[in-house]
Chain A
Amino acid sequence: MTTEKVSRRNWLEIAGGTIVGLAVGAGAATLIKPPAVTPTPTPCPTPTPCPTGVPEGIPVVGDTATERALNAAKEVAKRDNVPSGFELTVLVGSAMAQSHEDSRALWESRTGVKLKFASVPSEELYDKAVSESVTKTGMYDVLHIEPYMVGEFAPGKLLRDVTDWARKYDPRLHGPPDGYVYPYDWQICYFRNRVYGLATDADTAFIMCRKDLFDDPKEQENFESQYGYPLKYPTLWTEYRDIAEFFHRPPDLYGTLESRDYWGYWSWFMRHAATKWPVVYPWDDDVNANVNNETGYLATEQYVEATKFMHPDVIKLGYGEELDIMGKGKAAMAIFPASAAKFTNNPELSQVVGKIDVPPWVPGNMVDTPDGKKLLWKSIQGGGFIVTVSNYSKYPELAYLYIQFYASPENIVTDSVAAGSWLDPCRYNQMGPDADPRQVKASGRPVLLASPYVIQHAVPLTPLVASHEYFARLQKNLQDCIIGVLSVQDAMAKTEKEWNEITDRVGREEQKKTWLAYKPWYG
C-alpha cells in the first residue's frame, strides 16, 4: 500500500478551512434556536378592566402624551439596563422614513436611547413582517405597518398587545381636542378590543378637483352644452365619469387619476359600499363573498369606465408617480388620500399650488330608499399606517414608549409634514377649522376642512387574516377587467370564488369574529 505525504501547504490549507468551518458553524448554531416569545396577556371583554400585566414602578410624569413617553422612556432604559450602544430599530416604509428622522433628535436627546431605521419600499413592508414573523429574530423593535396587517400578525403573535401600557401612559386615543378622530381610534388602534398599535395615518379617500378648470367660464359653457347640466364638483359617479371624459385631453391633461396598481382595490370598495341603501357589505355574516351580483357589477363597471380617462400607464403607476402627474397640472381630478394635498400644496414640487379644491364629499349614487331616491356616498378608510411593537423586541416597553412619542398629538404633526411623508391627518388637532398651523401650511385648508365630514362616511378595510390576499386577488381581477381579459361578471365571479376559497382555507369562524366586529363601521 502506498502512502502519500501531506505537504505543509496542504496541511495549512486544510487546517485553515477547518477553523473557518468551525467558526461559521458555531455562529450558525446560535441563530438556529429562536428566541423565547414573551407571552401576551389574556384578552378580556370590555368594559371590564383587565388586570395590569406590566410591572409597576415607572412613574407617569407629564401633561402631554409626548412628555409622558419621553420621561418614562428614560426611566425604563435605566431600569432595564439598556446598553449605551443599543439602537431601537424601526421597520418603516421609505415614504415615512423622513418623519422618523425628523423625530430622532428630540427622542435621542431626551431619552439617551439611539434609533435606527430599517427603511424598505412601502410595498415590501408586508414581506418583511412575514419574514420576522417566521424567523422571530427580534431585529425590529417597532414595525410601522398598515392596519389591515394587524389581523394577520396579531393572531400570529408578531405584534404585541400594548393595551396595558396604553392605559398606563395614555397616548390620547379618544376624543377631541387631540385624540384620534372617531371612528379611526377604534378601527385602527384596536383589534378584537385590544390595542395593538397607534395610528399615524388614516388614508381616507378624497376627491380633489382643479378649481381653475372648474371655474373657467369657457369650460363651464362647453360642458353644459355637451352634457346638459352645469359643471360642478361631482356628487354622482356618473357625473364624475362625464367630467373625466370632458377634461380628458391627453397627453397634456387627463380626466382623472386614481390608483390602479397595488392599492387599486381602494376605490372599488368605496364604490361598492355606495351601490345600495343603506350600505353594501363585501361579505355576508358568514364571510361569504358578496360581490358576484348587481352591486359588484355596478361598482366594477364604474371603476373600469373611469380608467378610460386616466393616464395610459395608470395600471403600473405608483402613488408617487401619480402625485407627480397631478403636481404638473396634468389631471383635472383625482381620488387620493389627504397626503396628496401636501404635495400639490408644495411650491417646490407642484405647479398647481392653490388650484386644488377638496369638497367635503366623494361621488356616490342615487339609490332607492323607503323614502324615495337618495344620494348615498361612501369614502374609504383605506389603511394608512400604524406603529406597533414587536413581540420579539428585547425592550418592548421602551419600544411602546417610542411609538407613543412618535404618534403623540404633539409629534404627529411633525410626522405628517415631514418631507415626502405619506402620513395623513388622523387626530382632531390635525384637521378642521382649528387645525395645527404647521398642518395647515403643509396640507392646505381645503382637505383639512373636508376631513371631519368625509371621515364620518368612510368604510374600513377589514383586517381579516389574509387581507392582503383578498385585496390582491380583487385587484388582479379588476386589472384583467380593465384590459379586457375578463368581463365584469367574470371578474366578480372569479373574485367570489377566490375569496371564498381563502375564507375556507383560513378558517371561517376565525374570520367571522373579525368581520362581525368591523361590520358596524360600514354604517
Chain B
Amino acid sequence: MKWLKNPKWVALLFIMPLEVLLNLIGMFPFVVAIYLSFTNWTPVTGNWWEASIVGPQNYIKMLFDANFIRSIFLTAGIVGFCVTIEFLLGLLLAFLFLEDLLGKKILTSLAILPMMFIPAVTGYVFYVAFQSSGPLNVTLSLVLGTDIQLRWLRDPMLSFLGIVITDVWQWTPFMFLVLFSGLLALPPDPINAARILGGSGWQTFRDVQLPMLKPVIIVALLLRAIEAFKMFDIVYIITMGGPGYATQTLSLYLYEEGFKYLKMAYVAAEGLAIMLLVAIICWYAAKPLLRRTAA
C-alpha cells in the first residue's frame, strides 16, 4: 500500500465519496431525463423504469408542436427586448455613475435595489400595478390629463409589454453593476490619450472604451440572456401565460406540459432539445471571448 503514503492519492481517496455523490445528484437526473425522452411515461401510468420505449417519437412530435414553437419564438422575443433595453439602460447608468454625483453611494444602493427583490414579490407588485384601476393607469391618467384604462392583463401586446417592463425594472441594475465594474477596470491611459488628442466623448467611447469593454459586454449579455430565457416567476404571477397563450414563455410551457398535463417524457425531450440549442448559441456567442483568450 505504498500509494497510501502519497499525499495526492490520499487526498483523492478522501474527496472521492463526495465527488461520486455530486456526480450522482447532477448526472443521475440528466441520464434519467435522456431515458425518459425516449419513452411515453406519465406519472399516473406507473413507475418510470417500467415505461415503454417509443424511440424518437417525442423528438419528431416537437418539431410540429405549434405551442412549443410559439413559446420558443415568444421567449426569444422577450429575451431580445429585455436584454437590449437592460443593456442600453445599464450602460447609460454606468456612464452616469462614472461622474462625481452628489449622494453617489446612496444612489448606487437605490439603483441596485430592484435586483434584491425576490422575483415572485416583483411579479405580484407589478400584477397589482397593471390592474386596469391600478397605479400605472392612474399615474398615466394624471400625467396625460385624460382617463387612461389600458388593459395590461387582457390585451396580448400589452401583456407582453408588461412582462418586458417588469423584467427591465428588476434586472437593469444587474447590467449596470457589471458594466460599471467593467468601465472602472478599464486602463485610464488610452482614454486620456484619446481625449488629449482631441477626441469627443462619443468618439472616445466608440473607438477606445467600447472595444476594451467588449469582453465584459459579452459576459453580461450572455448571463442576462440565459437568465431571461428561463423566465418563469414573473410570468406565472402576472399573466400565467395568458391571455390565452400570449405570454406563455418556454419555462411556463414546459411547466404546464409536465406538471399540469403530465407529459413528463415529452417535456424531457423538449428540455434536452432546448438545452442543446441554448448550448450551441452560447458557444457561438462566447467565441470572441475564447479567441481573445487564445490570443
Task: Please report A residues at the B interface, Cβ cutoff 8 Å.
Answer: 3-6, 10, 14-15, 17-18, 20-22, 24-25, 28, 126-127, 130, 133-134, 152-153, 155-156, 158, 251, 261-262, 311-316, 465-466, 468-469, 472, 476-477, 479-480, 482-483, 485-486
- Contact among A5, A25, A134 with B7 in the assembled complex (CB-CB below 8 Å): A5
A-B contact pairs, 15 of them (CB 8 A): A4-B7, A6-B7, A17-B14, A17-B18, A18-B18, A25-B20, A134-B43, A134-B48, A312-B132, A312-B154, A316-B243, A468-B260, A476-B245, A480-B245, A483-B154
Given A14-B15, A15-B14, A18-B14: A483 touches B21 (CB 8 Å cut-off): no
Cβ-based interface call for B244 (8 A)? yes
Please tell me if the beta carbons of B131 and A315 are within 8 angstroms of each other in the complex: no
In the assembled complex, the Cα of A20 lies from the Cα of B18 at a distance in Å of: 8
Which residues on the A side are within 8 Å of B245 (C-beta)? Answer: 476, 480
In the assembled complex, the Cα of A20 lies from the Cα of B36 at a distance in Å of: 32
In the assembled complex, the Cα of A62 lies from the Cα of B154 at a distance in Å of: 55
Interface-central residue, B8, B14, B45, B127, by most chain A CB under 10 Å = B14
Give min CB distance, A37 to chain B, whole Å: 10
Task: Please report B residues at the A interface, Cβ cutoff 8 Å.
Answer: 6-8, 10-11, 14-15, 17-18, 20-21, 24-25, 43-45, 48, 127, 131-133, 149, 151, 153-156, 239-240, 242-246, 256, 259-262
In the assembled complex, the Cα of A15 lies from the Cα of B6 at a distance in Å of: 16
Give min CB distance, A516 to chain B, whole Å: 21
Which residues on the A side are within 8 Å of B262 (C-beta)? Answer: 130, 152, 466, 469
Give min CB distance, B15 to chain A, whole Å: 6
Which residues on the A side are within 8 Å of B151 (C-beta)? Answer: 312-313
Please tell me if the beta carbons of B45 and A472 are within 8 angstroms of each other in the complex: no
Which residues on the A side are within 8 Å of B156 (C-beta)? Answer: 483, 485
Which residues on the B side are within 8 Å of A251 (C-beta)? Answer: 132-133
Please tell me if the beta carbons of A313 and B131 are within 8 angstroms of each other in the complex: yes
In the assembled complex, the Cα of A74 lies from the Cα of B160 at a distance in Å of: 56
Given A18-B18, A251-B133, A480-B245: A127 touches B260 (CB 8 Å cut-off): yes
Please tell me if the beta carbons of B243 and A480 are within 8 angstroms of each other in the complex: yes
**Chain B: CB-nearest residue to A307:** B154
Interface contacts beyond A127-B259, A316-B153, A482-B243: sample of 16 additional A-B pairs, CB < 8 Å, sorted by A: A4-B7, A18-B15, A25-B21, A134-B43, A156-B44, A261-B242, A262-B240, A311-B132, A312-B154, A313-B154, A314-B154, A315-B153, A315-B243, A316-B239, A472-B256, A482-B154
Give min CB distance, A503 to chain B, whole Å: 13
In the assembled complex, the Cα of A17 lies from the Cα of B17 at a distance in Å of: 9
Please tell me if the beta carbons of B260 and A17 are within 8 angstroms of each other in the complex: no
Which residues on the A side are within 8 Å of B24 (C-beta)? Answer: 28
Please tell me if the beta carbons of A472 and B259 are within 8 angstroms of each other in the complex: no
Which residues on the A side are within 8 Å of B153 (C-beta)? Answer: 313, 315-316
Please tell me if the beta carbons of B244 and A476 are within 8 angstroms of each other in the complex: yes
Give min CB distance, A5 to chain B, whole Å: 6
Which residues on the A side are within 8 Å of B15 (C-beta)? Answer: 14, 17-18
In the assembled complex, the Cα of A20 lies from the Cα of B14 at a distance in Å of: 11
Which residues on the B side are within 8 Å of A133 (C-beta)? Answer: 43-44
Which residues on the A side are within 8 Å of B149 (C-beta)? Answer: 312
Please tell me if the beta carbons of A28 and B21 are within 8 angstroms of each other in the complex: yes
In the assembled complex, the Cα of A14 lies from the Cα of B13 at a distance in Å of: 9
Give min CB distance, B236 to chain A, whole Å: 10
Interface-central residue, A126, A152, A480, A483, by most chain B CB under 10 Å = A483
